[in-house]
Homo-oligomer: A and B are copies of this chain.
Amino acid sequence: MITIYDIAEKAGVSAMTVSRVINNTGRISEATRKRVKKVMEELHYIPNSMARSLVLQKTKILSLLITDITNPFYTTLARGAEDAALRAGYRLLFANSDEDYAKEKGYVDMMLSTRVDGVLFAPTGDHSLENLLQLQKHNIPFVVLDREIPGIEADLVLGDSKEGARKLVEHLIELGHHRIAMINGSPDVSTARLRYTGYREAHLLSGLAVEDSLVIHRNFRDFQDESALDALIHHENPPTAIFAANNMLAIGAIQALRKRGLQVPSDLSVVCFDGFGPTDALNPFLTVASQPAYQFGALGMQLLIERIEGEATLEHRKMILPSELLIRSSTQALA
């Protein structure tokens, strides 16, 4: 491996001079600068960022932790975060927790041992608190994305889960649906709780009763699990519409419905939170509350970098991004 010492020797200068050329610091005569640069190119020198980070105590690497890399919401978010990070001169390291606390913890350990400069953190749920405290204890700045964590002070970028849910359910109610099921994520996750609150509010505002046997909890990424749907179908008084708390749960529900010979929307209407990124264009079919995923990433990254570089005000900021109701063909008026 080529080091600054190799360059120094060949250029007839000290290692420090080479370092100065690389970083454009200190005083260097134009002649030696040129000479050193020439040697660096000849030997294809690449600085060892670990040696550098060791002495500088910073890595210029940020980390983005998402809970499901196969969910288009998060990949679009990742693009936003990446673009913002690169623009600010940072590299971005992606990590994928799979909605799994243990994996999340593993990645947090990795971030600590890699000494990343900051973390954009989409938590798996309330229990992520410990992992966040771990980052806090080691003075690694972070911004929490998408899900609020009780018990921690941090910059936050959230969607308007309650409002979005209310709009979706109100849309169903306007179409005449009175028995609306909800397939929700784990109650350990703030968005699941808030979306339930929105669902509830829509009912109350319309004078409808909430029937808790129509509300079912599943893991946000288990779109293969058909048991939720079976429970609803075999309900003694089955629903005429389903509100899925995110896109993956909707995929699971629709897939399961189809297997059982039920059509959307003629047999049941379906709505959900989040769109499907680029593949949405393929078949704009589901009525959704679409969140600005790219902005989640871009804005979160901006907050993070501001905090790292000390431009942040002391108090923590909480940004709430609006969602947009997109009415498409997965909903229809009740016959």
Q: Which residues of A contact B (CB under 8 A)?
A: 1, 44, 46-51, 53-54, 57, 59, 69-72, 75-76, 78-79, 82, 86, 91, 93-96, 106, 109-110, 112-115, 137-138, 223, 248, 250-252, 254-255, 276-279, 281-283, 285-286
Min C-beta distance of A160 to chain B, whole Å: 24
Residue in B54, B82, B113 whose beta carbon sits within 8 Å of that of A96 in the complex: B82
B223–A278 touching, CB < 8 Å: yes
B281–A255 touching, CB < 8 Å: yes
Bound-state CA distance A49–B53 (Å) is 11
Whether A278 touches B70, Cβ cut-off 8 Å, given contacts A96-B82, A114-B50, is yes
Residue in B76, B91, B283 whose beta carbon sits within 8 Å of that of A70 in the complex: B76
Chain B residues with Cβ below 8 Å from A252 are 281
B277–A255 touching, CB < 8 Å: no
Chain B residues with Cβ below 8 Å from A72 are 70, 72, 279
Q: Which label, helix, strand, loop or mixed, suits the secondary structure of the A interface?
A: helix
Residue of B nearest to A134 (CB): B44
Chain B residues with Cβ below 8 Å from A110 are 91
Residue in B75, B282, B283 whose beta carbon sits within 8 Å of that of A69 in the complex: B75
Chain B residues with Cβ below 8 Å from A79 are 69-70, 96
Residue of B nearest to A250 (CB): B282
Bound-state CA distance A47–B112 (Å) is 8
Min C-beta distance of A245 to chain B, whole Å: 16
A282–B281 touching, CB < 8 Å: no
Chain B residues with Cβ below 8 Å from A251 are 278-279, 281-282
Chain B residues with Cβ below 8 Å from A138 are 1, 44, 46
- Besides the contacts A69-B79, A86-B106, A223-B278, what 18 more A-B pairs have beta carbons closer than 8 Å? A48-B115, A49-B113, A50-B54, A51-B54, A54-B54, A69-B82, A70-B76, A70-B79, A70-B277, A72-B72, A72-B279, A79-B96, A82-B96, A250-B282, A251-B282, A276-B279, A282-B283, A283-B283
Min C-beta distance of A76 to chain B, whole Å: 6
Chain B residues with Cβ below 8 Å from A53 are 50
Bound-state CA distance A1–B140 (Å) is 11
Bound-state CA distance A107–B48 (Å) is 15
Chain B residues with Cβ below 8 Å from A112 are 46
Chain B residues with Cβ below 8 Å from A283 are 254, 282-283, 285
B278–A248 touching, CB < 8 Å: yes
